[in-house]
Amino acid sequence: MSKERFVETYNENIKREGADKLLAWLMSTDFFTAPASTRFHGAYEGGLVEHSVNVYERLVEMVEKYASDKNYSAETLAVCGLLHDVCKAQYYKVDSRNVKDEITGVWSKQPYYKVEEAFPCGHSEKSIILIQSMMKLTKDEILAIRSHMGGWDNDAKAGGYVVSNCFEASVLAPLLHMADLIATYINEIRGE
């Protein structure tokens, strides 16, 4: 259901040049079957597309409530909400590990997701690079996607100011981050 909702929302709202190429690329990857994380939110098949749709829906609500005067287009909201984590396409691999049953003491092979990144160039930055290789982004979209990780961004963890500068430069940036937080910590199933 999430894949259908994603594709429907994408096709309804994202019309700029290259949008069809980007969607075709997403269809050729594991984007629609990948997890959103290895152990936390959406740590299951299809978790990434579910998360993307959830973030889009929360972003629309956040903009209506806090920034309706900014007149962000439906296309911009769809681009930011649906595509902020395209960096996770072709990022996770299924592997197996031995797990001991604490009651019986019997070991068994269990599947799990591990990170196997072929294009290691950052999280948000990678999403921007992948999108821009097929479709142009606006300044607000770049700032929002770049800073959507908030305090979990490596620059922020190191004491840098990129995220806060993005938040100051575009209202869309903190709204996307908050939409991501709400989707992650309120709307989605946590892994083990």
Question: What is the C-alpha to C-alpha distance for residues 79 and 84, in angstroms, rounded to an integer?
Answer: 8
Question: What is the C-alpha to C-alpha distance for residues 154 and 134, in angstroms, rounded to an integer?
Answer: 26
Residue segments in the chain with a per-residue pLDDT below the cut of 70: 112, 190-192
% helix, strand, coil for the chain, step of 5: 55, 10, 35
- For the chain, give the percent of residues with pLDDT over 70: 97
Crossing angle of helices 2-13 and 47-66, in 10° steps, is 50
Please write the tens of the pLDDT for every residue from 88-141.
988 778 778 888 889 998 899 887 677 788 888 889 999 999 999 999 999 999
pLDDT of residue 180: 97
pLDDT of residue 41: 83
pLDDT of residue 190: 65
Alpha helices in the chain (DSSP H): 2-13, 19-28, 47-66, 74-83, 124-132, 139-147, 154-157, 162-169, 172-182
Q: How far is CA 86 from CA 8, 35, 135, 168, in A?
A: 17, 12, 13, 24
pTM summary value: 0.89
Per the listing, tokens 């681009």 go with: 79
**β-bridge partners, 44:** none
